[in-house]
Structure 1
Protein backbone atom coordinates (compact mmCIF):
# COMPACT_ATOMS: atom_id res chain seq x y z
CA UNK A 1 0.00 0.00 0.00
CA UNK A 2 1.27 3.47 -0.91
CA UNK A 3 2.21 5.58 2.12
CA UNK A 4 1.55 9.33 1.99
CA UNK A 5 2.88 11.81 4.54
CA UNK A 6 0.62 14.88 4.81
CA UNK A 7 2.11 17.94 6.50
CA UNK A 8 -0.16 20.91 7.23
CA UNK A 9 -0.88 23.05 10.31
CA UNK A 10 -4.55 23.63 9.34
CA UNK A 11 -6.35 20.91 11.34
CA UNK A 12 -9.47 20.95 9.14
CA UNK A 13 -7.53 20.62 5.90
CA UNK A 14 -5.22 18.02 7.41
CA UNK A 15 -8.21 15.94 8.51
CA UNK A 16 -9.92 16.30 5.12
CA UNK A 17 -6.80 15.18 3.26
CA UNK A 18 -6.30 12.19 5.55
CA UNK A 19 -9.94 11.10 5.14
CA UNK A 20 -9.92 11.49 1.35
CA UNK A 21 -6.63 9.71 0.88
CA UNK A 22 -7.56 6.81 3.15
CA UNK A 23 -10.88 6.48 1.32
CA UNK A 24 -8.82 5.92 -1.84
CA UNK A 25 -6.78 3.18 -0.14
CA UNK A 26 -3.64 5.17 0.61
CA UNK A 27 -1.86 4.60 3.90
CA UNK A 28 -1.54 8.04 5.50
CA UNK A 29 0.64 9.61 8.18
CA UNK A 30 -0.10 13.17 9.30
CA UNK A 31 2.03 15.91 10.83
CA UNK A 32 1.07 19.44 11.90
CA UNK A 33 4.61 20.86 12.04
CA UNK A 34 7.98 20.43 10.40
CA UNK A 35 9.82 18.70 13.22
CA UNK A 36 7.12 16.03 13.48
CA UNK A 37 7.14 15.60 9.70
CA UNK A 38 10.88 14.90 9.63
CA UNK A 39 10.63 12.54 12.59
CA UNK A 40 7.72 10.58 11.07
CA UNK A 41 9.43 10.42 7.65
CA UNK A 42 12.55 8.94 9.24
CA UNK A 43 10.58 6.38 11.25
CA UNK A 44 8.15 5.38 8.47
CA UNK A 45 9.57 6.47 5.09
CA UNK A 46 6.74 7.69 2.86
CA UNK A 47 6.28 7.04 -0.85
CA UNK A 48 5.21 10.66 -1.40
CA UNK A 49 4.92 13.82 0.73
CA UNK A 50 2.24 16.53 0.60
CA UNK A 51 3.81 19.56 2.28
CA UNK A 52 2.52 22.97 3.31
CA UNK A 53 5.19 25.69 3.49
CA UNK A 54 3.69 27.82 6.27
CA UNK A 55 4.39 25.63 9.29
CA UNK A 56 4.42 26.88 12.89
CA UNK A 57 7.94 25.77 13.85
CA UNK A 58 10.17 25.72 10.77
CA UNK A 59 9.60 26.82 7.21
CA UNK A 60 8.46 24.16 4.79
CA UNK A 61 11.55 24.77 2.66
CA UNK A 62 13.66 23.57 5.58
CA UNK A 63 11.57 20.39 5.63
CA UNK A 64 12.31 19.93 1.92
CA UNK A 65 16.03 20.40 2.61
CA UNK A 66 15.88 17.97 5.52
CA UNK A 67 14.20 15.28 3.43
CA UNK A 68 16.51 15.82 0.49
CA UNK A 69 19.47 15.18 2.76
CA UNK A 70 18.67 11.46 2.69
CA UNK A 71 15.65 10.78 0.48
CA UNK A 72 14.49 11.22 -3.13
CA UNK A 73 10.83 10.80 -2.15
CA UNK A 74 8.51 12.90 -4.36
CA UNK A 75 7.52 16.10 -2.54
CA UNK A 76 4.37 17.96 -3.60
CA UNK A 77 4.16 21.42 -2.06
CA UNK A 78 0.58 22.43 -1.24
CA UNK A 79 0.66 26.09 -0.27
CA UNK A 80 -1.27 29.36 -0.26
CA UNK A 81 1.90 31.20 -1.32
CA UNK A 82 1.25 32.38 -4.87
CA UNK A 83 4.31 34.50 -5.69
CA UNK A 84 6.21 33.16 -8.68
CA UNK A 85 9.55 33.55 -6.89
CA UNK A 86 8.38 31.45 -3.95
CA UNK A 87 7.18 28.69 -6.25
CA UNK A 88 10.48 28.62 -8.10
CA UNK A 89 12.44 28.63 -4.84
CA UNK A 90 10.48 25.62 -3.59
CA UNK A 91 11.12 23.71 -6.80
CA UNK A 92 14.79 24.65 -6.88
CA UNK A 93 15.14 23.57 -3.25
CA UNK A 94 14.01 20.07 -4.16
CA UNK A 95 10.20 19.93 -4.36
CA UNK A 96 8.82 17.98 -7.33
CA UNK A 97 5.58 19.90 -7.84
CA UNK A 98 3.68 22.93 -6.51
CA UNK A 99 -0.08 23.10 -5.98
CA UNK A 100 -1.63 26.41 -4.95
CA UNK A 101 -4.40 26.58 -2.36
CA UNK A 102 -7.33 26.43 -2.76
CA UNK A 103 -7.28 23.35 -4.96
CA UNK A 104 -9.68 20.63 -6.00
CA UNK A 105 -9.22 17.17 -4.55
CA UNK A 106 -9.27 15.71 -8.06
CA UNK A 107 -6.36 17.92 -9.12
CA UNK A 108 -4.40 16.93 -6.03
CA UNK A 109 -5.04 13.24 -6.63
CA UNK A 110 -4.01 13.57 -10.28
CA UNK A 111 -0.73 15.26 -9.31
CA UNK A 112 -0.20 12.56 -6.69
CA UNK A 113 -0.63 9.81 -9.27
CA UNK A 114 1.87 11.54 -11.59
CA UNK A 115 4.42 11.77 -8.77
CA UNK A 116 4.02 8.07 -8.02
CA UNK A 117 4.39 7.15 -11.70
CA UNK A 118 7.62 9.14 -11.75
CA UNK A 119 8.82 7.21 -8.70
CA UNK A 120 8.18 3.92 -10.50
CA UNK A 121 9.98 4.98 -13.69
CA UNK A 122 13.30 3.18 -14.07
CA UNK A 123 16.23 5.62 -14.30
CA UNK A 124 18.59 5.73 -17.24
CA UNK A 125 21.72 3.65 -16.87
CA UNK A 126 20.20 0.72 -14.97
CA UNK A 127 20.51 -1.61 -17.97
CA UNK A 128 16.85 -1.40 -19.00
CA UNK A 129 15.81 0.16 -22.32
CA UNK A 130 14.79 3.80 -22.10
CA UNK A 131 12.08 4.15 -24.73
CA UNK A 132 9.31 6.70 -24.28
CA UNK A 133 6.16 6.27 -26.37
CA UNK A 134 3.29 8.71 -26.79
CA UNK A 135 0.50 8.73 -29.36
CA UNK A 136 2.43 11.47 -31.22
CA UNK A 137 6.06 10.34 -31.08
CA UNK A 138 8.53 7.73 -29.81
CA UNK A 139 11.95 8.49 -28.35
CA UNK A 140 14.72 5.97 -27.69
CA UNK A 141 17.10 7.91 -25.48
CA UNK A 142 19.80 5.25 -25.39
CA UNK A 143 19.97 5.22 -29.20
CA UNK A 144 19.29 8.96 -29.47
CA UNK A 145 16.54 8.32 -31.96
CA UNK A 146 13.15 10.03 -32.24
CA UNK A 147 10.37 9.03 -34.61
CA UNK A 148 7.04 10.58 -35.52
CA UNK A 149 4.43 9.15 -37.92
CA UNK A 150 6.87 6.37 -38.80
CA UNK A 151 9.67 8.71 -39.84
CA UNK A 152 12.84 9.70 -38.04
CA UNK A 153 13.00 13.18 -36.49
CA UNK A 154 16.33 14.95 -36.56
CA UNK A 155 17.14 16.84 -33.37
CA UNK A 156 20.10 19.07 -32.58
CA UNK A 157 22.37 18.20 -29.63
CA UNK A 158 20.80 21.00 -27.58
CA UNK A 159 17.29 19.81 -28.40
CA UNK A 160 18.30 16.30 -27.34
CA UNK A 161 19.70 17.58 -24.05
CA UNK A 162 16.50 19.47 -23.20
CA UNK A 163 14.26 16.60 -24.29
CA UNK A 164 16.27 14.01 -22.37
CA UNK A 165 16.11 16.09 -19.19
CA UNK A 166 12.33 16.28 -19.44
CA UNK A 167 11.84 12.63 -20.38
CA UNK A 168 13.99 11.47 -17.48
CA UNK A 169 11.45 13.15 -15.17
CA UNK A 170 7.94 12.35 -16.47
CA UNK A 171 5.29 14.45 -14.81
CA UNK A 172 7.81 16.47 -12.82
CA UNK A 173 7.99 20.23 -13.19
CA UNK A 174 11.52 21.22 -14.22
CA UNK A 175 12.17 24.89 -13.53
CA UNK A 176 13.65 27.23 -16.10
CA UNK A 177 16.72 27.61 -13.88
CA UNK A 178 17.21 23.86 -13.65
CA UNK A 179 16.99 23.42 -17.41
CA UNK A 180 19.29 26.34 -18.13
CA UNK A 181 21.92 25.06 -15.72
CA UNK A 182 21.62 21.52 -17.03
CA UNK A 183 21.96 22.49 -20.69
CA UNK A 184 24.02 25.71 -20.72
CA UNK A 185 25.76 25.74 -17.34
CA UNK A 186 25.52 27.78 -14.13
CA UNK A 187 26.09 31.18 -15.73
CA UNK A 188 23.06 30.94 -18.01
CA UNK A 189 20.26 32.06 -15.67
CA UNK A 190 19.30 35.05 -17.84
CA UNK A 191 18.93 33.07 -21.07
CA UNK A 192 15.27 32.11 -20.68
CA UNK A 193 14.60 33.15 -24.28
CA UNK A 194 16.81 30.24 -25.36
CA UNK A 195 14.38 27.83 -23.73
CA UNK A 196 11.36 29.37 -25.42
CA UNK A 197 13.01 29.02 -28.82
CA UNK A 198 14.16 25.44 -28.33
CA UNK A 199 10.89 24.30 -26.76
CA UNK A 200 9.01 25.77 -29.73
CA UNK A 201 11.31 23.83 -32.07
CA UNK A 202 10.80 20.58 -30.13
CA UNK A 203 7.03 20.98 -30.21
CA UNK A 204 7.11 21.69 -33.94
CA UNK A 205 9.12 18.53 -34.55
CA UNK A 206 7.34 16.18 -32.12
CA UNK A 207 3.85 17.34 -31.16
CA UNK A 208 0.85 16.52 -33.36
CA UNK A 209 -0.46 20.04 -32.75
CA UNK A 210 2.44 22.29 -31.70
CA UNK A 211 0.12 25.20 -30.82
CA UNK A 212 -1.75 22.95 -28.36
CA UNK A 213 0.95 20.60 -27.01
CA UNK A 214 -0.11 17.52 -25.07
CA UNK A 215 3.30 16.29 -23.94
CA UNK A 216 5.82 19.15 -23.77
CA UNK A 217 3.99 21.45 -21.40
CA UNK A 218 4.83 24.99 -20.29
CA UNK A 219 4.02 26.06 -16.74
CA UNK A 220 3.99 29.86 -17.24
CA UNK A 221 6.67 31.66 -15.28
CA UNK A 222 7.88 28.43 -13.70
CA UNK A 223 9.22 25.88 -16.15
CA UNK A 224 8.33 22.85 -18.23
CA UNK A 225 7.14 19.28 -17.79
CA UNK A 226 6.75 16.16 -19.91
CA UNK A 227 3.36 14.47 -19.70
CA UNK A 228 3.04 10.96 -21.08
Structure 2
Protein backbone atom coordinates (compact mmCIF):
# COMPACT_ATOMS: atom_id res chain seq x y z
CA UNK A 1 0.00 0.00 0.00
CA UNK A 2 1.06 3.61 -0.39
CA UNK A 3 1.59 6.01 2.48
CA UNK A 4 0.64 9.65 2.21
CA UNK A 5 3.32 12.05 3.44
CA UNK A 6 2.16 15.45 2.25
CA UNK A 7 -0.90 16.75 0.45
CA UNK A 8 -1.41 20.05 -1.26
CA UNK A 9 -3.68 21.01 -4.12
CA UNK A 10 -1.13 23.42 -5.58
CA UNK A 11 1.88 21.12 -5.23
CA UNK A 12 3.31 18.79 -7.86
CA UNK A 13 2.44 15.22 -6.86
CA UNK A 14 5.40 12.84 -6.71
CA UNK A 15 4.87 9.08 -6.45
CA UNK A 16 8.07 7.87 -4.79
CA UNK A 17 9.02 4.19 -5.16
CA UNK A 18 11.97 2.96 -3.11
CA UNK A 19 12.27 -0.21 -5.15
CA UNK A 20 14.81 -2.07 -3.03
CA UNK A 21 14.42 -0.43 0.37
CA UNK A 22 17.83 1.24 0.27
CA UNK A 23 18.40 3.65 3.15
CA UNK A 24 19.87 6.18 0.71
CA UNK A 25 16.56 6.13 -1.12
CA UNK A 26 14.70 6.94 2.09
CA UNK A 27 16.98 9.91 2.68
CA UNK A 28 16.28 11.05 -0.86
CA UNK A 29 12.53 11.13 -0.20
CA UNK A 30 13.15 13.11 3.00
CA UNK A 31 15.18 15.68 1.06
CA UNK A 32 12.37 16.58 -1.36
CA UNK A 33 11.17 20.16 -1.02
CA UNK A 34 7.83 19.84 0.79
CA UNK A 35 6.91 23.40 -0.15
CA UNK A 36 6.90 22.35 -3.80
CA UNK A 37 6.09 18.63 -3.89
CA UNK A 38 3.37 16.47 -2.38
CA UNK A 39 5.10 13.12 -1.89
CA UNK A 40 3.44 9.71 -1.79
CA UNK A 41 5.61 6.72 -0.85
CA UNK A 42 4.76 3.38 -2.44
CA UNK A 43 5.65 0.43 -0.24
CA UNK A 44 5.43 -2.20 -3.00
CA UNK A 45 6.42 -1.75 -6.62
CA UNK A 46 3.74 -4.21 -7.71
CA UNK A 47 1.05 -1.72 -6.70
CA UNK A 48 2.31 1.04 -8.99
CA UNK A 49 -0.46 0.71 -11.59
CA UNK A 50 -3.19 0.93 -8.95
CA UNK A 51 -1.46 3.90 -7.31
CA UNK A 52 -1.21 5.69 -10.66
CA UNK A 53 -4.96 5.42 -11.16
CA UNK A 54 -5.80 6.53 -7.63
CA UNK A 55 -3.23 9.27 -7.12
CA UNK A 56 -2.72 10.59 -10.69
CA UNK A 57 0.82 11.79 -9.88
CA UNK A 58 2.67 14.38 -11.93
CA UNK A 59 5.91 12.36 -11.75
CA UNK A 60 7.14 8.94 -10.63
CA UNK A 61 10.49 8.84 -8.81
CA UNK A 62 12.12 5.40 -8.59
CA UNK A 63 15.05 4.87 -6.22
CA UNK A 64 17.27 1.79 -6.47
CA UNK A 65 20.72 0.64 -5.39
CA UNK A 66 21.48 -0.13 -9.04
CA UNK A 67 19.30 -0.23 -12.18
CA UNK A 68 19.01 -4.01 -12.38
CA UNK A 69 16.67 -6.05 -14.55
CA UNK A 70 13.75 -5.62 -12.16
CA UNK A 71 14.02 -1.84 -12.22
CA UNK A 72 14.32 -1.78 -16.01
CA UNK A 73 11.32 -4.08 -16.47
CA UNK A 74 9.34 -1.94 -14.06
CA UNK A 75 10.12 1.25 -16.01
CA UNK A 76 9.30 -0.39 -19.33
CA UNK A 77 6.04 -1.78 -17.95
CA UNK A 78 5.09 1.57 -16.47
CA UNK A 79 5.61 3.22 -19.83
CA UNK A 80 3.11 0.84 -21.47
CA UNK A 81 0.28 1.95 -19.16
CA UNK A 82 1.06 5.63 -18.55
CA UNK A 83 2.79 8.66 -20.04
CA UNK A 84 3.61 10.10 -16.61
CA UNK A 85 7.29 11.18 -16.47
CA UNK A 86 9.58 8.68 -14.74
CA UNK A 87 12.86 9.58 -13.03
CA UNK A 88 15.25 6.89 -11.77
CA UNK A 89 17.85 7.66 -9.10
CA UNK A 90 20.74 5.41 -8.11
CA UNK A 91 24.33 5.68 -6.80
CA UNK A 92 25.57 4.06 -10.03
CA UNK A 93 27.26 6.51 -12.41
CA UNK A 94 28.10 3.85 -15.02
CA UNK A 95 27.20 5.08 -18.50
CA UNK A 96 25.88 1.62 -19.43
CA UNK A 97 23.41 1.76 -16.52
CA UNK A 98 22.28 5.27 -17.46
CA UNK A 99 21.72 4.30 -21.10
CA UNK A 100 19.72 1.19 -20.13
CA UNK A 101 17.45 3.27 -17.91
CA UNK A 102 16.74 5.72 -20.73
CA UNK A 103 16.13 2.82 -23.11
CA UNK A 104 13.58 1.40 -20.65
CA UNK A 105 11.55 4.60 -21.02
CA UNK A 106 12.71 6.81 -18.14
CA UNK A 107 12.72 10.57 -18.67
CA UNK A 108 15.78 11.26 -16.52
CA UNK A 109 18.44 9.55 -14.43
CA UNK A 110 19.91 11.04 -11.26
CA UNK A 111 23.13 9.90 -9.62
CA UNK A 112 22.78 9.96 -5.84
CA UNK A 113 23.60 11.31 -3.37
CA UNK A 114 22.75 14.84 -4.46
CA UNK A 115 21.88 18.05 -2.69
CA UNK A 116 18.23 18.82 -2.04
CA UNK A 117 18.38 21.99 -4.12
CA UNK A 118 19.76 20.07 -7.12
CA UNK A 119 17.17 17.31 -6.76
CA UNK A 120 14.37 19.88 -6.70
CA UNK A 121 15.79 21.65 -9.76
CA UNK A 122 16.10 18.42 -11.75
CA UNK A 123 12.56 17.27 -10.94
CA UNK A 124 11.24 20.73 -11.74
CA UNK A 125 13.03 20.59 -15.11
CA UNK A 126 11.46 17.21 -15.97
CA UNK A 127 7.99 18.45 -15.03
CA UNK A 128 8.46 21.61 -17.09
CA UNK A 129 9.83 19.69 -20.08
CA UNK A 130 7.03 17.13 -20.16
CA UNK A 131 4.38 19.83 -19.71
CA UNK A 132 5.47 21.57 -22.92
CA UNK A 133 3.83 19.01 -25.23
CA UNK A 134 0.21 20.29 -24.84
CA UNK A 135 1.35 23.79 -25.84
CA UNK A 136 2.64 22.41 -29.12
CA UNK A 137 -0.68 20.69 -29.75
CA UNK A 138 -2.34 24.08 -30.07
CA UNK A 139 -0.60 24.33 -33.45
CA UNK A 140 -2.30 21.13 -34.54
CA UNK A 141 -2.31 17.55 -33.32
CA UNK A 142 -0.78 16.15 -36.50
CA UNK A 143 2.66 16.65 -38.03
CA UNK A 144 3.40 15.15 -41.43
CA UNK A 145 6.91 15.20 -42.87
CA UNK A 146 7.55 12.97 -45.86
CA UNK A 147 6.84 9.36 -44.82
CA UNK A 148 6.62 10.33 -41.14
CA UNK A 149 3.33 11.14 -39.40
CA UNK A 150 3.41 12.32 -35.78
CA UNK A 151 0.18 12.29 -33.78
CA UNK A 152 0.98 14.61 -30.90
CA UNK A 153 -2.10 14.03 -28.76
CA UNK A 154 -1.75 10.25 -28.99
CA UNK A 155 2.06 10.43 -28.84
CA UNK A 156 2.25 8.03 -31.78
CA UNK A 157 4.47 7.95 -34.85
CA UNK A 158 3.69 6.29 -38.18
CA UNK A 159 6.16 5.56 -40.96
CA UNK A 160 4.56 4.89 -44.34
CA UNK A 161 1.34 4.33 -42.38
CA UNK A 162 2.80 1.71 -40.04
CA UNK A 163 3.30 2.36 -36.30
CA UNK A 164 6.84 3.00 -35.05
CA UNK A 165 7.61 2.06 -31.46
CA UNK A 166 9.52 5.00 -29.98
CA UNK A 167 10.63 5.62 -26.42
CA UNK A 168 9.57 8.94 -24.82
CA UNK A 169 13.03 10.38 -25.46
CA UNK A 170 13.01 9.27 -29.11
CA UNK A 171 9.54 10.78 -29.52
CA UNK A 172 10.64 14.15 -28.10
CA UNK A 173 13.79 14.12 -30.22
CA UNK A 174 11.91 13.42 -33.45
CA UNK A 175 9.21 15.98 -32.65
CA UNK A 176 11.81 18.66 -31.90
CA UNK A 177 13.55 18.01 -35.23
CA UNK A 178 10.30 17.99 -37.23
CA UNK A 179 9.10 21.25 -35.65
CA UNK A 180 12.19 22.87 -37.24
CA UNK A 181 11.89 20.90 -40.46
CA UNK A 182 14.48 21.78 -43.09
CA UNK A 183 16.57 23.79 -40.61
CA UNK A 184 19.62 22.73 -38.66
CA UNK A 185 18.90 22.31 -34.95
CA UNK A 186 21.95 22.81 -32.75
CA UNK A 187 23.27 20.14 -30.42
CA UNK A 188 22.63 22.39 -27.42
CA UNK A 189 19.02 23.12 -28.43
CA UNK A 190 18.26 19.43 -28.93
CA UNK A 191 19.86 18.52 -25.60
CA UNK A 192 17.98 21.28 -23.76
CA UNK A 193 14.60 20.45 -25.32
CA UNK A 194 14.84 16.67 -25.01
CA UNK A 195 16.84 16.14 -21.81
CA UNK A 196 16.97 19.56 -20.16
CA UNK A 197 19.46 22.45 -19.97
CA UNK A 198 21.66 20.63 -17.47
CA UNK A 199 22.50 18.06 -20.19
CA UNK A 200 23.71 20.46 -22.92
CA UNK A 201 27.27 19.10 -22.70
CA UNK A 202 26.29 15.40 -22.80
CA UNK A 203 26.42 15.00 -26.57
CA UNK A 204 27.12 11.27 -26.37
CA UNK A 205 23.47 10.82 -25.30
CA UNK A 206 22.36 12.73 -28.39
CA UNK A 207 24.56 10.72 -30.76
CA UNK A 208 23.27 7.49 -29.26
CA UNK A 209 19.59 8.42 -29.62
CA UNK A 210 20.03 9.81 -33.13
CA UNK A 211 21.43 6.37 -33.97
CA UNK A 212 18.40 4.66 -32.36
CA UNK A 213 15.99 6.98 -34.18
CA UNK A 214 17.63 6.45 -37.56
CA UNK A 215 17.42 2.69 -37.05
CA UNK A 216 13.66 2.98 -36.61
CA UNK A 217 12.66 5.51 -39.29
CA UNK A 218 15.32 5.39 -42.02
CA UNK A 219 15.27 2.92 -44.93
CA UNK A 220 19.04 2.63 -44.57
CA UNK A 221 20.29 3.93 -41.20
CA UNK A 222 23.88 3.90 -42.47
CA UNK A 223 22.88 6.23 -45.31
CA UNK A 224 20.24 8.47 -43.69
CA UNK A 225 17.94 10.59 -45.84
CA UNK A 226 15.64 12.01 -43.15
CA UNK A 227 17.85 12.90 -40.19
CA UNK A 228 20.96 14.56 -41.58
CA UNK A 229 24.08 15.57 -39.69
CA UNK A 230 25.14 19.19 -39.86
CA UNK A 231 28.77 18.83 -38.89
CA UNK A 232 29.79 21.13 -36.08
CA UNK A 233 26.20 22.40 -35.69
CA UNK A 234 23.66 19.66 -35.00
CA UNK A 235 21.05 17.76 -37.01
CA UNK A 236 18.41 18.58 -39.62
CA UNK A 237 15.21 16.76 -40.54
CA UNK A 238 14.84 16.78 -44.31
CA UNK A 239 11.58 15.27 -45.61
CA UNK A 240 11.65 13.07 -48.67
CA UNK A 241 8.74 11.96 -50.80
CA UNK A 242 6.48 9.52 -48.96
Q: Is TM (by shorter chain) over 0.5?
A: yes
Cα drift, residue 63 of structure 1: 1.6
Q: C-alpha separation between the residues in 2 aligned to 1:107 and 1:43?
A: 29
**Residue 53 of structure 2, aligned match among 42, 61, 75:** 42
Q: CA 1:41/1:188 → structure 2, altered by over 3 Å: closer, same or farther?
A: same
Q: C-alpha separation between the residues in 2 aligned to 1:182 and 1:20?
A: 36
Q: C-alpha separation between the residues in 1 aligned to 2:196 and 2:58?
A: 16
How many matched pairs? 177
TM-score using structure 2 length: 0.57
**Is 2:192 the partner of 1:182?**
no
Q: C-alpha separation between the residues in 2 aligned to 1:183 and 1:90?
A: 20
The residue correspondences of 1:133-212 to structure 2 (distance < 5 A) are 144=180, 157=182, 159-160=184-185, 169=194, 171=196, 175-183=206-214, 185=217, 188=221, 198=230, 200-202=232-234
Q: Would the aligned equivalents of 2:25 and 2:64 in 1 still touch at CA under 8 Å? A: no
- Runs of 5+ unmatched residues, structure 2: 1-10, 141-175, 200-204, 236-242
TM-score using structure 1 length: 0.60
Q: CA 1:161/1:200 → structure 2, altered by over 3 Å: closer, same or farther?
A: closer
Cα drift, residue 124 of structure 1: 7.5
CA RMSD of aligned residues (A): 4.1
Q: C-alpha separation between the residues in 1 aligned to 2:88 and 2:80?
A: 17
Superposed CA offset, 1:87-139 (max 9, x none): 1011011011111122222211111010110122135862339xxxxxxxxxx
**Is 2:104 the partner of 1:93?**
yes
Q: Would the aligned equivalents of 1:5 and 1:49 in 2 still touch at CA under 8 Å? A: yes
Q: Would the aligned equivalents of 1:123 and 1:168 in 2 still touch at CA under 8 Å? A: no
Q: CA 1:167/1:34 → structure 2, altered by over 3 Å: closer, same or farther?
A: same
Q: C-alpha separation between the residues in 1 aligned to 2:115 and 2:104?
A: 25
The residue correspondences of 1:1-228 to structure 2 (distance < 5 A) are 1-8=11-18, 9-10=20-21, 12-21=23-32, 23-54=34-65, 59-123=70-134, 126-128=137-139, 144=180, 157=182, 159-160=184-185, 169=194, 171=196, 175-183=206-214, 185=217, 188=221, 198=230, 200-202=232-234
Q: C-alpha separation between the residues in 1 aligned to 2:91 and 2:55?
A: 27
Superposed CA offset, 1:139-165 (max 9, x none): x988849xxxxxxxxxxx483497886
Q: Would the aligned equivalents of 2:185 and 2:233 in 1 still touch at CA under 8 Å? A: no
